[in-house]
Chains A and B, each alone.
Chain A
Amino acid sequence: MSTIVLLALTGLGLGALYFLIASGLSLIFGLADVLNFAHGLFLAAGAYATWWASGRMPLVAAVVVGTLAGTVFAVAVELLLIRPLYARPIQQVLVTVGLAAAGVALLQGVAGADPVTFPKPGWLSDTTEVLGAAVPNDRFLLIAAALAVLAALLVFLRRTRYGLIVRAGVEDRAMVTALGIDVRRAFTLVFAIGGAAAALAGALAGLYFGSVTPGLGGSLLIFAFIVVVIGGMGSVTGSAAAAVLVGLVQQFANYYAAAGVGEASTVLLLAAVLLVRPGGLARRVA
């Protein structure tokens, strides 16, 4: 029983990381039709900025700095690289792929290819007993952060005018402009939101794994893409459900089958969902 509890909470923690990356990815794709391969770089920007700041200020402040850095970076990418190419989707994808490769290389050049270690505060490595299982506290931090971001996103999408524009734009962007709304401002906004969530994921991944490498964003991005497709392109609640599913499947398969089977089984899960529901789990944005 305690093993199952530990595996479940670890899987949920992993799913929380996936959700933080996938929610922004999904909104950006759903609204702006941008397949953002540079999303992992937003994560890396957040992680390295947090690492840089953690030596200079309290950890919480460092995470805030990291999140802000990812947000600013994502907005800059949208305004300078993505925006001029909205009429040319293939070039747009190439730009995000190129940016991801160049960004990782740049990080390696500046911070080195070796992992940089994150300071892990004592309270985060301590364990809390849940149903007989000693669960490290970092899992709870990840889950709480993802729940907070999910709640904030839902409030934004359901209660604000820009949230309304995003939900409508995911369905029919041209009609939104035909109502007199400059939908491109919403594009910049979803990049900011996606960048912030991914950067927070980067900071939390650093705390969780104890270290980060320049390539961390890229490897997590693969699972985030799987989550986005399973959840339904453009749906935040779908991403949340799919992230939980993928995190749990991966964790349990890795433990009960063999190490590495978890990663493969997420792809099987993806195939199964696509066979049964080609549009993904969700039909609505929020």
Chain B
Amino acid sequence: MTSLLAVRGLHVRLGGSHILQGVDLDVPATGVTALLGRNGAGKTTTLRAILGLVPCTGSVVFAGEELVGRPTYAVVQRGLGYAPEDRGVFSALTVAENLRLAERDRNPRYDRVFALFPELRKRAAQPAGTLSGGQQQMVAIARALLNDNRMLLVDEPTKGLAPKLVTQVAEVLARAAETVPILLVEQNLGLVRRLLAESAVDPDGAGRVAVIGQGRVVHTGGLPDTPERLRVLLGVGAAGA
């Protein structure tokens, strides 16, 4: 398996704490790769370090190019689309302006975006700050899909969303994963399981999950079969707790 994104020995120190302590991670060129771990384990920091949003040491090679040390905008211009945890939507800008700001390619793929999110076309003139959480998440994902990115980094897209919207986001991600690989941080294990099954290049999503615990990747491979095993890996509710 050749990986499109290869992270080696990634360290991040922020405000005196050693958040990432040598993360190794491979993301293949197709389908969904899920990054799991309990709160504070370093999932979001891993994505932010890959993008150069936090200072880091180590190596991040994307499509043969070293990214560490490059400014964020240059990293993104290599073809990395990012939908952050807090959605990063500009609330004072309209939906159309949020999308226009994200345009990088000569021919932005509004056809693709509006096919997935017809609602955004209707709400083009509405300030993004007045959208619901689910609609803001659509804007965040739409911004990443507007360009022909080579990989998407999507951080907890279903956080705080109603179940119906979670299903919708899952469908969108599954469809997007048919054309572009996705590195997904997600707490909703049902969603991860479903996406891995749908986007499986290899059956049962083997090799498509990385679990971070205490700043390191502690497990790679398939999604563990039993909930108990997963809990142990995630370091939550371990035996007896």
Contacts and interface: CB of A to CB of B under 8 A. Distances in A.
A180 B73 contact: yes
Interface string A152-191: 0000000001001101100110111111111100000000
Interface string B19-57: 000000000000000000000000000000001010000
B181 interface: no
Interface in A121-137: none
Contact of A178 (B51, B91, B97, B100): B51
Interface stretch (B76-84, B111-119, B163-171, B207-215): B76-84
Contact of A182 (B51, B73, B90, B92): B73
Given A164-B97, A179-B101, A285-B92, A174 B53 contact: yes
Given A164-B100, A164-B101, A168-B101, A178 B93 contact: no
Most central of A161, A164, A177 by chain B CB within 10 Å:
A177
Contacts of B72: 174, 177-178
B143 interface: yes
Interface size class of B (residues with CB under 8 A): 20 to 34
A164 B93 contact: yes
A277 interface: no
A21 B218 CA distance: 56
A183 B102 CA distance: 13
Contacts of A168: 90, 93, 97, 101
Interface in A197-254: none
B71 A171 contact: no
B121 interface: no
Given A181-B73, A182-B71, A183-B73, A176 B101 contact: yes
B104 interface: yes
B180 to A, nearest CB: 15
Contacts of B100: 161, 164
Nearest to B88: A175
A155 to B, nearest CB: 15
Interface of B: 51, 53, 71-74, 76-77, 82, 84, 88, 90-93, 97, 100-102, 104, 143, 147
- 5 smallest CB-CB distances across A and B, nearest first, come from A180-B76, A175-B88, A177-B72, A168-B90, A182-B73
27 contacts: A164-B101, A165-B101, A167-B97, A168-B93, A171-B92, A171-B93, A172-B90, A175-B84, A175-B88, A177-B76, A178-B51, A178-B72, A178-B76, A178-B82, A178-B84, A179-B82, A180-B73, A180-B147, A181-B73, A181-B101, A182-B71, A182-B73, A182-B74, A183-B73, A283-B92, A284-B92, A285-B92
